[in-house]
Structures are given as structure tokens and as C-alpha cells.
């Protein structure tokens, strides 16, 4: 196949897909090398200040992260202390409930020598008799009669 035949086949393929053939010789545009353009003084200083600014931002983020970590540690420590105090309060409430229960008070009273009153020692107050002005005097009188 000659080069003319290859070019004709190449062109017919593009015509078949409704595209324009690229007849440029040499490298494809993707393969072409781009020469770097040297930066001027102003662009260099802008790039330097941008780099310094990014550095300060990253250092600030690290500082804020460290501060928030310390604050979270302090919060966790205080939460542990709160739980400890709440447990102590609950234990004290249980001790108060057991110390003031009727069975405990009765057992301590019996240990101190208190006894239940006998029938002769009991004083019954009549609710219909009216209110006496000196209850202690009435009690003393009923006890010594």
C-alpha cells in the first residue's frame, strides 16, 4: 500500500464517521512539549506570600486541633468526676433510706432499752371530747391516776 492509498483510506474513515481528518505532520497536540515560561519577580513574590499564608493557615489548624483536644480531655475528666460524685450521692441516699427505715429505728430503740408500752401505760385520747389547752398536763394527770 502506497502512501497515497493510506491517505485515501485515512480520509475515507473520517468521512464515514463525519469527522474532519487531521493532515498535520509531526506529533499530536497531546504529545507536543510546552516550554515553561519563566516567572517574573511579582509572580515569585506572590507565590512566596501564598506559600507563607498557607503555612500559617496549617499551623493555625494544628493549634486549634490541639486546643480542642485539650478541651475534650478536660470535659471527659469532668464527666468522670461527675459520675463519681453521682455514685457517691446514690450510695448516701441508700444509706439514708436504710438508716431511717422503721425496722432499723425499731432495732436501735430496742438496743437502747426501749420497750413497747403495756396496756396500762397507754393513753387513749378521745377525739370527740374537745381540745384541751395543756396536753402535757392532761397526759400527766392520766398517768398518775
Query: Of 75 and 30, which is predicted with more confidence?
Result: 75
Examine the pLDDT at 27 and tell me if it is beyond 60. Answer: no
Say what the pLDDT of residue 54 is. 97
Q: Where along the chain do its domains lie?
A: 41-115
Going by pLDDT thresholds of 50, 70 and 90, the confidence category of residue 127 is low
Q: What CA–CA distances, in Å, run from 16 to 2, 10, 19, 23? A: 21, 10, 8, 17
Going by pLDDT thresholds of 50, 70 and 90, the confidence category of residue 84 is very high
In contact, 143 and 123? CB cutoff 8 Å: yes
Amino acid at each position: 500500500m502506497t502512501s497515497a492509498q493510506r491517505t485515501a483510506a485515512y480520509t475515507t474513515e473520517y468521512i464515514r464517521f463525519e469527522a474532519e481528518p487531521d493532515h498535520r505532520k509531526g506529533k499530536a497536540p497531546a504529545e507536543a512539549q510546552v516550554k515553561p515560561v519563566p516567572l517574573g519577580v511579582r509572580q515569585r513574590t506572590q507565590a512566596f506570600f501564598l506559600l507563607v499564608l498557607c503555612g500559617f493557615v496549617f499551623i493555625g489548624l494544628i493549634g486549634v486541633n490541639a486546643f480542642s483536644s485539650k478541651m475534650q480531655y478536660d470535659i471527659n475528666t469532668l464527666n468522670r468526676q461527675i459520675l463519681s460524685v453521682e455514685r457517691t450521692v446514690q450510695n448516701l441516699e441508700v444509706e439514708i433510706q436504710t438508716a431511717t427505715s422503721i425496722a432499723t429505728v425499731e432495732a436501735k430503740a430496742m438496743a437502747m432499752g426501749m420497750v413497747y408500752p403495756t396496756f396500762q401505760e397507754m393513753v387513749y385520747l378521745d377525739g370527740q371530747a374537745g381540745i384541751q389547752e395543756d396536753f402535757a398536763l392532761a397526759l400527766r394527770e392520766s398517768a398518775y391516776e
